[in-house]
Structure 1
């Protein structure tokens, strides 16, 4: 990479306009712009000041009795009056703030530590761990919180510490449920797949990728739980099982005031108002945090369509083909299925292809043909419910199908890099570019932070990001689409992979930036000598960049061959239809050619040739039985059509 700086700039226009494309960072003071947040925040700040500065702010010793001033009303000497032992109520309320905050922070901290940790594991790992955690949560939440706290206190003993430990265990169940629910949705995000492709360990993905992105709802829940914890502590102290006699609790003050309410009616008002206002402030601040951190309310991921398979389409048995001696990637008979056992659908059927070292193979077809599913299957990144039912995927001498998670982690990012079509979705929005690139590099190499940072700057320079050192501090939203895609490519190249899988890397970009990214991939291929599997539906891109092309339709390869031969003389009707549907930029009033119909869903693959319902050359024989891939084409009328085109 020492000659990275010698690469010519591939994006002069992009570099000039990139600063204009940056979005401002989210204001740290956005919360204070909400009027309903200022008042509770100010009151809680006052409570914190009282708790910290109680020895200096309290006008009297809160523990020293004075029977001469017993049950005095509010006045000049005692602003809030005195209790049954003549102790100053204002001083006791100030010292009570310390106990209230200590108890709240202690219980919520226990709940967050235990609940978030278990929720992360249950949501990300799933399986038996998830089932056990949820059954435990069901049991604990079936018991009223106060009764459960009293039961735990009876085992652990009285005292504020034990009481808050019991409350913290109750909170842990709520935090675990919330964390698990958010992680279940977040783990399906593209940036998590990108982190797995780049070889980050599961622990790093959970703590450094997922956790910062789910912090919003957890912070909101924690702020509301602080008020709930304070209320529970006051309740337990009111019952005599919370704070000890050496501690001042608003709940214990309320119990004492209840006994002497007939002699001094205002006595219960002081601790009651303190409890009410503090709990209300925590709740109002939690609502404000929710509005500030989760604008529009919590979003719900759209449910995936349920695959109700009526049966698996018959798969053709393709004739075995010789593998070139310099093949880097060899896929044989790859079949991916999804759905319940007995009613599965084939998403990908018997895919066989190979990729030589230093070669670019284009995988083309309409949306829904299985291109991305094939790439995900190669890296074992299939969505939940899908699995590899048959086939082999070999990278050099390594069989990837059935490989363990730890071994796959070294393959992903180390030997195989991947570029997704939406760069902003593939980057974590809460981390700087420098942090994300350094995490990738250090996941595979034993480098110090300084060395990893230098390598990250080198990679950004290699892919044409101007002023790479400064831009390491920027967040993904501060990059335009083209520059963000360059960052994703830099991450994919972090550990010098042998194979780069580019899944429609230019779809989300405008035409000018598309050309720059494609030129960048061509430059990197020549300079680094890596192989590229390019997934696209643009035959123009294939013609410019690829050496060979494989055409997919309805989960099958229907034609494969050199780009020049395949595009100049297509042998399968589907390939010919794709070529005719390409816009040619010619002047004229003729309508653009289209392919009638659409790609059928996976649970309704047609029998026989899967393209025959849309094919203008189809005959009754095309729907009789499976059609094998012979001589690089899957069509029983290949000889007849060759004569027709001739």
Structure 2
């Protein structure tokens, strides 16, 4: 049985398409959504403008109708006419021709400065982030010094040292850009160097230089490309400003900034003169920025593109209670009906949850079990309204009492979270802010849903810590999370979840990172709080032993579907679905020499759910009909062979 993948890692894995290096159709499927993201008016129009500038820059002598440096005083400061389409400047030079040649200067200056900044910044940031040590400390101190000086003053100072001229000006701008490139590169490399593929490269014997260039750099290229595209627009602005001040382009070059300076002097005589270079600068900078946004949306996972798409999706259709096959108990607190959750990834939509239904009565403990990747944590996230931006509820209903949670406005959802629903995460260290005391975090949770003042909220926080068994609660309020052991930190997380005495507590594998003794203490605490507060608990776990001890009912999930539900004693004593039986068989048992049973294969990713019964590729009892059509949940089990398997089990019990 494969239970090693954490839920957060599982979601990330679901979002990433499988690698198929030799599969042309898979490669096209991955590229198509990105091409569609780039084929939008706010992308195509800036791209067309920049393409026009590139053509003008490369073919300026052919495109420009006149020599941009040839004066004609007889036609100075003329308005647009048939002879001079965009008029002339103070020396009678054609404005259109100067704009065309100015595009060459603008693009050349931008590319020079960004190339210098990227080469220096990415190189230093890559080495500093990967190697660390004294190189990292020196690089960061130099970056701090350079960023403490205003960019314009630094550019002017560097120009004063190197001398005037476009090349020297762009060298100065490139040095300024190198700091931002270095910081971004270092930040992403610090996270990337901890990934397993880097360790694998080390195992293969690759040296640091090869790992940095061939392994790490390609994986961090996305944010660097985005930064470069945005820096191009900034470089153009700086070049225009320096030329406007007279320290950028010289007299042998045409610059839009220099054209603005000339237009400023003669604006009273020809008001149209400053409009054209100003519009050219504005459109070009805006185009670079819009393309930078588009690159970010297509290259960076989970960017604003996903958020915009999720926001554009209409609210999921609400499921009507009358369509339920079986009436639910009158004291039902939580009802999840036919819930379907889809995830938008580079390869298209994947269905994380399919037609999930469950209910939880008041004061009841429901265990949700299954291997990693089956959808347990996604179910909890859908209930509490904390799905990631790439995921959305496509169908179904989630009701807490008489309150529909699907499609609820965020302002109303915040009132439900904490006040009516609490959640305990599996990693207490990640669930607590490391820079705030636990008292501050508990007080914030209390005051978010009550009218208590600071003193009263602190007293409530002390009572919460005492309730969950934290000794010396008054003093420990001023401690930071790192000063708590794993078990005590988990108690603090539980205290925060109970701050407003919610009706429902979702415990997402609350004992995963704890040793056996502490696990038992935390579970006993949850059961005690359930009795004292009368709340319901949705307990997500891999441990069927915990389910047997703590839960009233159990729901078994596989591949985004409920495959079996029922009372704990009934399901564990007589499992009807082959997957439930396989999970029970894989549980460790006492007795030496007994081989531990395993489930062959692994849970498939969300984009590759099998047709028909999703467990049939791993099921020893599967027949051809299992793969023919989707299987519905009927009578608490999702299996077309449930009666035949039950008969076989009964016969096996009868035989000696």
Match of 1:606 in 2: 610
**Aligned with 1:531 (options 515, 531, 536):** 536
Match of 1:455 in 2: 460
**Superposition pairs of residues 71-150 of structure 1, within 5 angstroms:** none
Q: 1:221 to 1:435 in 2, by over 3 A?
A: farther
Q: Secondary structure at the match of 1:299?
A: helix
Moved >6 Å (runs of 4+): 219-222, 236-239, 294-297, 301-306
| CA deviations over 1:522-550 (Å, ceiling 9, x no partner) | 00000000000000111000001000000
Report the alpha carbon displacement of residue 494 of structure 1 after superposing the two structures with TM. 0.4
Q: 1:456 to 1:369 in 2, by over 3 A?
A: same
Match of 1:333 in 2: 338
Report the alpha carbon displacement of residue 572 of structure 1 after superposing the two structures with TM. 0.6
Match of 1:631 in 2: 635
Report the alpha carbon displacement of residue 383 of structure 1 after superposing the two structures with TM. 1.5
Q: Secondary structure at the match of 2:461?
A: helix
Report the alpha carbon displacement of residue 339 of structure 1 after superposing the two structures with TM. 2.0
Q: 1:588 to 1:238 in 2, by over 3 A?
A: closer
Match of 2:328 in 1: 323
Question: Does 1 or 2 have the higher relative contact order (CA < 8 Å, sep 6+)?
Answer: 1
**Superposition pairs of residues 357-396 of structure 1, within 5 angstroms:** 357-396=362-401
Match of 2:483 in 1: 478
| CA deviations over 1:464-511 (Å, ceiling 9, x no partner) | 001111111111111111000000000000011000000000011111
Q: Is 1:512 equivalent to 2:517 in the alignment?
A: yes
**Aligned with 1:229 (options 113, 136, 150):** 150
Unaligned runs of 5+ in 1: 1-130, 140-215, 240-250, 256-279, 307-317
Cα contact 1:574–1:615 (8 A) shared by 2 = yes
**Superposition pairs of residues 231-270 of structure 1, within 5 angstroms:** 232=153, 235=156
C-alpha separation in 2, matches of 1:332 and 1:594: 32
Q: 1:326 to 1:448 in 2, by over 3 A?
A: same
Q: Is 1:553 equivalent to 2:474 in the alignment?
A: no
Q: 1:350 to 1:296 in 2, by over 3 A?
A: closer
Q: Secondary structure at the match of 2:348?
A: coil
Match of 2:546 in 1: 541
Q: 1:601 to 1:226 in 2, by over 3 A?
A: closer
Q: Please give the TM-score of this superposition, normalised by the length of structure 1.
A: 0.54
Q: Secondary structure at the match of 1:344?
A: strand
Cα contact 1:319–1:629 (8 A) shared by 2 = no
C-alpha separation in 2, matches of 1:430 and 1:600: 39
Match of 1:213 in 2: none
Cα contact 1:379–1:412 (8 A) shared by 2 = yes
**Superposition pairs of residues 610-621 of structure 1, within 5 angstroms:** 610-621=614-625
| CA deviations over 1:397-437 (Å, ceiling 9, x no partner) | 10000000000000111100000000000111111111111
Q: 1:477 to 1:296 in 2, by over 3 A?
A: farther
Match of 1:645 in 2: 649
How many residues are treated as equivalent by the alignment?
A: 384
| CA deviations over 1:268-323 (Å, ceiling 9, x no partner) | xxxxxxxxxxxx9x99xx99xx9xxx9997435979999xxxxxxxxxxx963211
Q: Is 1:405 equivalent to 2:416 in the alignment?
A: no
Report the alpha carbon displacement of residue 221 of structure 1 after superposing the two structures with TM. 10
C-alpha separation in 2, matches of 1:624 and 1:234: 70
Q: 1:225 to 1:578 in 2, by over 3 A?
A: same
| CA deviations over 1:333-361 (Å, ceiling 9, x no partner) | 10000126993111000000000000000
Report the alpha carbon displacement of residue 618 of structure 1 after superposing the two structures with TM. 0.7
Q: Is 1:571 equivalent to 2:576 in the alignment?
A: yes
Match of 1:422 in 2: 427
| CA deviations over 1:585-612 (Å, ceiling 9, x no partner) | x222121011111111111111111111
Cα contact 1:417–1:497 (8 A) shared by 2 = yes
RMSD between aligned residues? 3.8
Q: Secondary structure at the match of 1:589?
A: coil
Cα contact 1:319–1:628 (8 A) shared by 2 = no
Unaligned runs of 5+ in 2: 1-41, 51-136, 164-174, 196-218, 220-299, 303-322, 651-656
